[in-house]
Structure formats: C-alpha cells, structure tokens
Chain A
Amino acid sequence: MTIRFTEDHEWISVDGDVATVGITTFAQGQLGDVVFVEVPEAGRALTKGKDAAVVESVKAASEVFAPVDGTVVEGNQAVVDEPALVNSDPQGAGWFFKMTLANPAQLDGLMDQAAYDAFVEGQH
C-alpha cells in the first residue's frame, strides 16, 4: 500500500486497483471544526487537479481536488453524516472517496510522506 500527497493537502492511499482519498491531518487543522462534507457519487469521472469533493468548517470552505485521473467507486457516507470524523481521524475513518486509477503513473508526480512533511514545514 502506497500513500502519496498533493500540494493541496489531499492524501491518496493505493491498495491494488483502488485508491482512497482524503485530506491530511495538517489540512483539517487549518480548516478548524469540519461541519459539512460533500462527496462524489459512484461512477463520476474525476480529473487530476479538478473539484471532487467539498469540505467546510464554520469559517472556511475548500474544494477537495482529485489527486489523479480516475472514476469514483464510493463516496464515504460516514463523513457526510458525521463531518467531525474528518477532524478526529482525517487519514483513517475520515476518508472522502475511493476511486480507480486511469493512469497510475500520475502517482509518481505526487509527494511521499517525507517530502510532504518537508512541504508542510515550509508552509509556516
């Protein structure tokens, strides 16, 4: 299982043919208490860097972008029903959607854990 990160603070964890996508621990901390989440429906085609989901706190709103091209397999109804999961377990139960990969080579352009940690450090 590989995990990769984008500069927009999404994570993507690949397990076989299917990848899981969410926002990072750092990102949820920047947003504050998440109060609303909108996830894509199964079957929707996603394009790398384009809108895939929405996450809102009380004072901030952000799009969640697709880290790579692919098709949605499942949106996480649990975070829609309980947005607090994005704060309490952002890189676990707080995932946003699962997707298939149209072009797995796109993963090579994303950051690994060490590179992302350094990237976040540089944001301060």
Chain B
Amino acid sequence: MRYLPLTEADRREMLAAIGAPSVDALFGDVPAAANLNQPIAGLAPHQGELQVERALSRLAARNVPAGSCPSFLGAGAYRHHVPASVDQLLTRGEFLTSYTPYQPEVTQGTLQYLFEFQTQVALITGMDVANASMYDGATACAEAVLMANRVTRRNRAVLSGGLHPHYRDVTATTTGVLGVDLVTLPADPKGIEDLAAAIDDKTSCVVVQNPTLFGHVADLTPLAEACHAKGALLVVVVTEVVSLGLMPSPGSMGADIVVAEGQSIGNGLNFGGPYLGLFATRDKFVRQMPGRLCGETVDADGKRGFVLTLSTREQHIRREKATSNICTNSGLCALAFTMHLSMLGELGFTGLARLNHAKAAQLADKLAAAGVTVLNQGFFNEFTVQVTGDAAALVDRLAAEPLLAGVPVSRLHPGQADLADLLLAAVTETTTEDDMDALVQALGGKQ
C-alpha cells in the first residue's frame, strides 16, 4: 500500500518497544461488541493509481463540462478564465499541505498572503477591513445577519427579493434556530421593490444583493441612508465579484457589511464547492466579526511579520461565547483568489469587468434584435430573459445539443407560475460571439 511506509518488521519492532503483544491490544478500550477483527465487508480492497484514475475518469466523462459547449450559467457561480500559473502555484506543497498558521515562524507564507488577501478584499469592496474568508457567500450572508444583530442589539433582518434564494435559505436556516425574525420580500424579477419601506425601529439590517439575482444593478446610497436613519445596518451581497471592477463599491455607497462569493476569481466551478466567502466591514465593527484575521506585527529582531490576531472572538478561546463556531475557512480558495487578483492588478481587474459587461451588453443587444425580451434596464454580466413557454423545459431540451442556456428561475424560485418563463443568462470573458449566436438562435430563431 503505497501511502503506508511501515513494514511488518517495523511494526514488530515498534510493538516490542511499546511492550504490546499486538496492534489489537492497543485497541483494548474498544467495547468487545464494537471491535471489528477484519476489514468491513462489501467494500472494495485497495487499488493502484491507474485503476483509481480509470474508475473516476469514467465518472468524469459522464458529465458535460461547462467549457465544452456554449454556456450561460451563472446565478451565483461563474465560469471565468483562470491563468495557468494560479493553479501551478496553488499545488506547491508548502501551500497545499500546510495547516492553519498556528506557528507563525514557519507559516509566514500563508500569513503574508492572507494579509494581502484581506487588503485586496477591503479595496475591491471599498471597506476598511476583511477577514481571512468564510465557507462561501451564502454562509457569509448568514453570518452577516448575526453580526448585524450583535452590533445593533436588534433581532429583525429584512431580506431583499433580489437575494439569491439559496442565500436566503441558508440565512433562514442558520438564524432561525436562534429565533431571528426575518422579513423576506417576494421575488423581484423586475427590480422594483421598495426595501426602505420595510425598515423600522427594530430592524437590525437590510440584506440586498447587487447585482440582484435577476441581474439588476442599483445605486444603494439612498437605501444606506434609509437604514442608517433607523439605526439599521446595510448588508450588501455580491455573488459575482468581478462586478466590483466596474460598479461603484458597496463601501462607497454606504454598506456596513459586505459579503461576497469570491469563486469567480481564481476558482473553478467545481460543481458548487469549495467556494470562497468574502466578508468585509467597517473598522469599528471588527470585534464583532466572525472568522480568522491576520495582522501585522514585528518579530524579536524587529522585522515585519504576520500573525493570526484578535482570536479571542473565536471558538477555540471563547467557546460558547464566540462570535461564530467557524474554524476551518477556505484558505486555498483564498490563495487562488489572491494570486489571480494579483495577476490581474488594477488594469486587469477593471478590464476584465468591462469586458464581461460589454459582452453581456452585446448579447442583450443581439437578443433584442431577435425579438427576445430582456427584463433589465441595467445589468452587469447577467440578466433575465423572458422565453416562450417553460424556461426549465427549454433548458433541458437545449442541454442535449449540448447548449447550457442558463439557469431557469423556477429552479431557484419553484412553484411560482409567474416566474416559469424566466431564464437567467450570464456572460463572461469566456463567452464567444459564436456562443451568443447559438443562444440567440435557440431562443429567438433569427440572427
């Protein structure tokens, strides 16, 4: 067995040093009835690398990769081009096989990239401070509501109807057990809801997604003012983080907490995980933040170095009084993100955002020319298309071509007849004009 270095002779010698008659003797505390004396039945024995690769490759071959055909899938996960060097660097063993940086002298590599990552996240969100990442955007959203409740000492959160339903559900599940009062607005495909009207003196925060699930973009400044007038916080959710290269930052519009799904930068689709939750806020709220934080300090020789800090917020010290139970974060996904964003830089990040937006506008124009209705006035790289008939059935039909036409709204908001003909279509820099024409033809019939 290739991963196990001990020989039978080693084992005998070691048992002799221990003074144990057998390995079984070491398991003497296990109740006899539960102590198995042979491998569990019905499971395959060990296999060589070739055999495992063959078996799993066979499973992989039964999926249609998004990159193998025209794809317009978005709704919280986006296919972008990741530079080859990102993944090459990611697999360096010193990054890949390192643990949480508990011993800072031998983990300055991890700590420095986390410090750089926190700075990049703060810059793109327009906030003061960011943590070292959460599991994904949806769990970060739930944590933001809990944090807003701690900061305001209130217990009612208002969720926009433009919020991704999975984010809404994760937030409801997580905060529901703590008795948080959630005011959930109905799905808002046209981007016309009045969130300010839902704020009252008991509201801890308003959670709004920008661009919304349906692709609408908004200046959130008036909403931030409405929140602050009532002593509530504004939580801004971003599911397509590339949009921050073109749209005004949530911080500049008055956000108090920004949570985002960072998958778009550096990370592949991976069928939904692992992804990368971004979490940023104002300096004054930092002690109420969940998750790990890296900070700058000096070493015994006076040289700059980095450590995990403000850990007393966390579960390993505060236990039941911690700000969250989170321990593991998305370290490697954060590394991929920070490397890709470093590679892009100011020019690349803003350029990528402009390219995504321009291509999306190009598709919208093509659809309009073909007589297909696009609901959005404004959008970033994703918008809502009204199709003829049932969008889910259409998407399933086109998948056979294969053409991944987008996400039918009914898959996220099931059981609502008025949404059944709506399709979310996303465009990124990976979308070609041929891809667009294929979609236009499938939806509109003429080019």
Is chain B in direct contact with chain A in the complex (CB below 8 A)? yes
Report the bound CA distance from A61 to B321 in whole Å: 10
Which of B309, B311, B312, B318 has the most CB atoms of chain A within a 10 A radius of its CB? B312
Report B-chain residues with C-beta under 8 Å of the C-beta of A74: none
Interface mask (B301-341 → A, CB under 8 Å = 1, otherwise 0): 00000000101100001100100000000000000000000
Interface mask (B118-142 → A, CB under 8 Å = 1, otherwise 0): 0000000000000000000000000
Interface mask (A45-59 → B, CB under 8 Å = 1, otherwise 0): 000000000001111
Count residues on chain B whose CB falls below 8 Å from chain A CBs: 7
Expressed in whole angstroms, the minimum distance between the Cβ of A8 and any Cβ of chain B is 16
Count residues on chain A whose CB falls below 8 Å from chain B CBs: 7
Of all chain A residues, which has the CB nearest B318? A61
Expressed in whole angstroms, the minimum distance between the Cβ of A53 and any Cβ of chain B is 14
Report the bound CA distance from A60 to B316 in whole Å: 10
Report the bound CA distance from A66 to B158 in whole Å: 37
Interface mask (A79-110 → B, CB under 8 Å = 1, otherwise 0): 00000000000000000000000000000000
Instruction: Indicate if A36 sits at the interface (CB-CB under 8 A).
Output: yes
Neighbour of A59 across the interface among B287, B317, B321, CB < 8 A? B317
Report B-chain residues with C-beta under 8 Å of the C-beta of A60: 312, 317
Report B-chain residues with C-beta under 8 Å of the C-beta of A61: 312, 317-318, 321
Report A-chain residues with C-beta under 8 Å of the C-beta of B312: 36, 56-58, 60-61
Report B-chain residues with C-beta under 8 Å of the C-beta of A59: 311, 317
Report the bound CA distance from A36 to B311 in whole Å: 12
Expressed in whole angstroms, the minimum distance between the Cβ of A72 and any Cβ of chain B is 18
Report B-chain residues with C-beta under 8 Å of the C-beta of A58: 309, 311-312
Report the bound CA distance from A57 to B287 in whole Å: 14
Report the bound CA distance from A59 to B102 in whole Å: 12
Expressed in whole angstroms, the minimum distance between the Cβ of B295 and any Cβ of chain A is 11
Report A-chain residues with C-beta under 8 Å of the C-beta of B317: 59-61
Which of A36, A58, A59, A60 has the most CB atoms of chain B within a 10 A radius of its CB? A58
Interface mask (B276-292 → A, CB under 8 Å = 1, otherwise 0): 00000000000100000
User: Restricting to B248-292, which residues have a CB under 8 Å from any CB of A?
Assistant: 287
11 contacts between A and B (CB under 8 A): A36-B287, A36-B312, A56-B312, A58-B309, A59-B311, A59-B317, A60-B312, A61-B312, A61-B317, A61-B318, A61-B321
Q: A36-B287, A56-B312, A57-B312 are in contact. List 12 more A-B contacts (CB 8 A).
A: A36-B312, A58-B309, A58-B311, A58-B312, A59-B311, A59-B317, A60-B312, A60-B317, A61-B312, A61-B317, A61-B318, A61-B321
The 8 closest A-B CB pairs, nearest first, are: A61-B312, A56-B312, A61-B317, A61-B318, A60-B317, A59-B317, A36-B312, A58-B311
